[in-house]
Structure 1
Amino acid sequence: MILTLTLNPSLDRTIEVESLTRGAVIRAATAHLDPGGKGVNVSRALLANGVASCAVIPYGGDEGRRLVELLFTEGLDMITVPVAGSTRSNVTIAEPDGTVTKINEPGTALSPAELDAVADAVLKAAHSADWVVASGSLPPGVPTDVYAQLCARFAAAGILVAVDTSGPALSAAIAAAPALVKPNREELTEATGRPIASVGDAVEAALSLRERGARAVLASLGPDGAILLTGEGHPRGWYGYAPVPEPRSTVGAGDAMLAGLLAGGGPAAGGAALAEALAWATAAVGLPGSRMPLAADIRRDQVQVRELRLQDAHEPHLAQPLRSGG
């Protein structure tokens, strides 16, 4: 079973438009309201593909109650923790060429007592979990080392932890030696201070995260695919890519990627798990809003994965330039 923790869940409204023009009155082609938050999306993707998962979610206000209603309708197994503040709402505007504009609210602060209640809920449920996924932004006022603290507590209990966050929270978590971190290209750049213009740059940045404590790194590179680094001592690496003929929304694609990797056996499964991760992520990009892909949406035949020769500076895939999109 895979347990997910989302400290800053959301209601996600996605509006599809023909084009986005500032200051204009724009008619929406379609609109979708979905449960949101990175851990929530991981659990939704796993549920959609028959993989056991449970989501721990703090919620509050009318938006929070609506979030819980939507997840209940989907049949998601969850542990809800009521809080005094109101759950945030996010808006995504998607254009036909795949361009996505996101407006995310900061979320509501959690009191120390509320944060303790959430942590207790996670710890009580974690005894039956193979993985705990701690992901997403932190609400205002929550200590940046909260994921690091959870990593230390779960590791002591022999539970594998995957972390998907950014900024100081990611840096703090890396030092706590999580089993897996999943940055995107921008988060890699932020965490390492290195410009990333090629697959080789991304690999070097990911290797530096391993040197700082992360045991495995899954780095999503947007339209350029993803890399996976694993192994103790001498790392192994894989690079993978899959085309998306008709991109509709990138919202939740990274969460689908993480869910696919864990469903595919986790970092220990190497290239096979990366292939599954890419198949789930590209399927999500082809869906509207933050819908998670069903088994029928996933096309594994389009995925290309190969192992990288990390010590070979002339490895052709390491020299492959990345496009401007992250």
Structure 2
Amino acid sequence: MKRPIIAITMGDPAGIGPEITVKALSKQDLYERCAPVVIGDLSVLKKALIYTGLTDLQLHPIANVKEAVFQPGLIDVLDMGLADSEKLAIGQVSKMAGEAAFQYVKKVIELAMEGKVDATVTNPLNKEAINLAGHHYAGHTEIYAKLTDTPKYTMMLAHKDFRVVHVSTHVSLREACDKVRKERVLEVIEIANKACLAMGIEKPVIGVAGLNPHSGENGLFGREEIDEIIPAIEAAKLKGIQTEGPVPPDTIFSKAIGGWYDMVVAMYHDQGHIPLKVTGFVFNRKLNKWDAVEGVNITLGLPIIRTSVDHGTAFDQAGTGTASEVSLINAIDYAIRFAGKK
């Protein structure tokens, strides 16, 4: 079976992206599932090999994807030459790193839109850094939407088979409440259903969270459920989508983890992010370290495939070689899954 070509951005050069990239691509079995290529800077990745102790790995600089060899032990790198590793301050926000991180993302989008790669995977960038570089976006999701000219999209988070999509993400909580409208809720339900089908789930069940405590208690604690969410659910059912809700936000995620739903529609950023990260991020008190930092961020509704780690640049860990690559491997596996169904 032909392996899908997965383009992976290096992320902010001053963060943990380069280190978790070489860690992930040190796994021989990954090359049995896909053909990975890194979009980044060769000089930064050379230092990442030293930080992680993976000096037996070799870096293979390429000018285009056709030159990649996709062999274990040899990491193909489309070298952008944007970050000077000698001037780069590891673990610090900088305009240079922000510019580089943005250009890596722009490049993978171009490669995917041109059909030169089958899917894209992004490592973390720093929002302050890309804004310092003059690129005024709230994050990856908005960059992808803008550069692919996609008006209808949503963020999906996943940890194993626990999945959440969002009606709104990077806006204030006050503004998020105003964005709970029938048309948008229905739009996200439809995108969620389509994504489940794309992953091979034959008869998806979509659970829709309420906005208010107890889903409004029949209007006692707010009318958003009555006026906006329930009409959206009814409209989805008329389209043949198996949809349940509005389910009180304090119970819907436990039900989803228990297998009741294939996807949950959350009404705003933290409503969906908190349960995913409580599940996927596990800190060991006794050893004073993270046992797990897992989860995948996926942008749905795009004409191309984009998955990502579900954590930030972790500047405090950068340069130590200790950051976990598990979230990145999970993101690559989700990209492979979507590419296989494309």
The TM-score with structure 2 as length reference comes to 0.36
The TM-score with structure 1 as length reference comes to 0.38
| Structure exhibiting the larger radius of gyration computed from Cα positions | 2
Higher RCO, Cα 8 Å, sep 6+: 2
